[in-house]
Amino acid sequence: MRRGLPMLFADAVRHRVRFAAVLVLGFLLASPAAAFAVGDAGQREAALAMLREAAERNSRTQTLSTDFVQKKTLAILSMPLVSEGYMCFSREADGPRLLWAYTSPAPSGFLWEKGGGALWQGGVSSRRAPSAREARLLEAVSRQILFWLSFEPESVLRAYAVEKADAAARELVLLPRRPAFFERVRLIFAPGMASVAELEFSGGDEATVLSFSQTAVDAPLPPRCRP
C-alpha cells in the first residue's frame, strides 16, 4: 500500500470520517508519477460523444437516489473490504444537496448542502457539524462526487485522457493526467446515460469498485434522503 493512504486512513479515524470518503480525497493528492498509453483521437471523440449525452441527460436531473456496494481489494488482504450504503442527490434553489450514507458494516455518512456539511457515526440522528478541518475534507469529497455526477465533458477530459471508449457497452476507461493514487478509472453508465452503474479506480495492487443499483432519477426522494 502506498505511504500516503494509511496516513489518510489514520486521520479519518481520528476525525470520524469514513475511509471511502478519504479515499476519494486521496485521488486528488500527489503520488509517484507513471507513464500511460493514451487512446487515439477516435477514442477521444467517442468518449466526448458519450460524455455529452450523459451531461445533457444529467442537466435535467432534479433528484437521484441509489444504493451502492463498495469493494476495495488489496494484495495484502485475502478478502475485499466491503461496505454498503446509499446516496441521494437533489438540485435545490441554494445549490446541490448530497447525502452519502453507509449502512454496513457500521452506520456513518455525511451531508453536503448550502455550501456546508454535517457528518455522523452510528446513525444519521447523531449528525453533527464538522470541525474546520473536517469541513475542508467534506467539501473536497463532495465536489469530487458531484464531478462524477455532472459528466461535464470538457472538465472530465481536462482531468483525464481516454484509453478506451465503448459506446455499445456504455463504458469509458480514463487515465488521470496528473499523478494520483490510481492509474485508471473505469466508468460504466446506466441505461439511459443519466447515471453511473459502476465506477472502478485501480492501480498497482489496489482496486476500489462502486456498484450502484436501485437507482431512481427524478422520482420523489425516499424518506431516508431527508433525515
N- to C-terminal Cα distance for the chain? Answer: 37
pLDDT mean across residues, the chain:
82
The residues spanned by each domain of the chain are 4-29+37-225
Question: Which residues touch 142 (CB under 8 Å, ≥6 apart)?
Answer: 98, 110, 112, 117
Tell whether the model's pLDDT for residue 162 goes beyond 60.
Answer: yes
Tell whether the model's pLDDT for residue 28 goes beyond 70.
Answer: no
Question: Which residues touch 7 (CB under 8 Å, ≥6 apart)?
Answer: none
Q: What are phi and psi of 149, to 5 degrees?
A: -90, -20
Residue with cell 437507482: 215
Tell whether the model's pLDDT for residue 44 goes beyond 90.
Answer: no
- What was the pLDDT predicted at 14? 35
| Alpha carbons 161 and 182: distance in angstroms, whole number | 13
Tell whether the model's pLDDT for residue 178 goes beyond 80.
Answer: yes
pTM equals: 0.79
Amino acid identity of residue 81, one-letter, is L
Best CA proximity match to 134, nearest among 155, 112, 150, 114 = 112
Tell whether the model's pLDDT for residue 59 goes beyond 90.
Answer: no
Q: How confident is the model at residue 98 (pLDDT cuts 50, 70, 90)?
A: very high
- What was the pLDDT predicted at 175? 93
Best CA proximity match to 174, nearest among 27, 71, 56 = 27
- What was the pLDDT predicted at 38? 53
Tell whether the model's pLDDT for residue 185 goes beyond 50.
Answer: yes
Residue 160 contacts residue 174 (beta carbons within 8 Å): yes
Q: Is 107 helix (H, G, I), strand (E, B) or coil?
A: coil
Cis peptide before 96 (omega within 30 of 0): no
Tell whether the model's pLDDT for residue 35 goes beyond 90.
Answer: no
Q: If you average pLDDT over residues 47-54, what whole number do you get?
A: 90
Please state, in angstroms and as integers, the Cα–Cα distance from residue 68 to each residue in 4, 12, 50, 81, following that order.
26, 21, 23, 14
Q: How confident is the model at residue 19 (pLDDT cuts 50, 70, 90)?
A: very low
**CATH of region 4-29+37-225, choose from 3.40.50.300, 3.90.550.10, 2.130.10.10, 2.50.20.10:** 2.50.20.10
